[in-house]
Amino acid sequence: MSIEDIFQSILQLKRGEIADLVQAEIDAKTDVGAILEQGLINAMGEVGNQFSEGRLFVPEMLRAAETMKIGLEVLRPLLVEADIKPRGTVIVGTVKGDLHDIGKNLVGMMLEGAGFTVVDLGVDVDPKAFLDAAGENRAQLVAMSALLTTTMPVMADCVGRFKEANLGARLIVGGAPVNQDFAIKISADGYSSDAPGAVELAKNLVPA
């Protein structure tokens, strides 16, 4: 068994197999980062390519995502293994109109692993819900995810409302179509292209 088998199990939509495959790699002491990147994340990238090329459709994309999530749950204890005292509270969510949650979940897990208390608002979160949750939880940081170009403007709306409300929480953004230029343009406090980068941002913006 190998990481390639994990990659293939996602492409072949084998929901029943992936948990055992991931566990086998963990037992074999394969690097967790490699399982995550080369097995799980790369497979979703390939699913996206096949969707763009019209070789795979929404129902398959959904099953691939479900398969990936099962694999991610097996990795979860290793990703959140933390022995650090609480560092602060982060609100995470995917913005209004957007139902993609795998990247957001990964960011949440890694932030948890770094000692942050994570309040996950799920998907399709409107700016007011981000604002309310940040106030109620006295959050230091809000991490927003968007996977669709059409939902990126919601991030701008959200940043604007936070600045107006002057709550003091910092805002970071991410997701496949988001980039540094966009983050600067909307006056977000930070951007990263991946979950470890989100943790670095969080540590810098919310010092222990």
Binding site for ligand B12 (CB under 6 A): 41, 44-45, 47-48, 51-52, 58, 61-62, 65, 97-104, 106-107, 143-145, 147-149, 172-177, 192-195, 198
CB of 24 to ligand B12, least distance (A): 21
Q: State which amino acid sits at residue 206.
A: V
Cβ closest to ligand B12, residue 5 vs residue 101: 101
Cβ closest to ligand B12, residue 16 vs residue 45: 45
Helix (H) or strand (E) holding 174, with range, is strand 170-174
Q: How far apart are CA 33 and CA 19, in angstroms?
A: 16
CB of 140 to ligand B12, least distance (A): 14
- Phi, psi for 172 (deg, rounded to 5): -120, 150
**Residues across the chain:** 208
138: left (phi over 0), alpha (psi -120 to 50) or beta: left
Q: How far apart are the first and last CA of the chain?
A: 41
CB of 27 to ligand B12, least distance (A): 24
Which two three-digit tokens encode residue 153? 């403007």
CB 99 within 8 A of CB 124: yes
Q: How far apart are CA 121 and CA 51, in angstroms?
A: 28
Cβ closest to ligand B12, residue 9 vs residue 145: 145
CB of 55 to ligand B12, least distance (A): 11
Cβ closest to ligand B12, residue 21 vs residue 104: 104
Cβ closest to ligand B12, residue 5 vs residue 175: 175
CB of 127 to ligand B12, least distance (A): 15
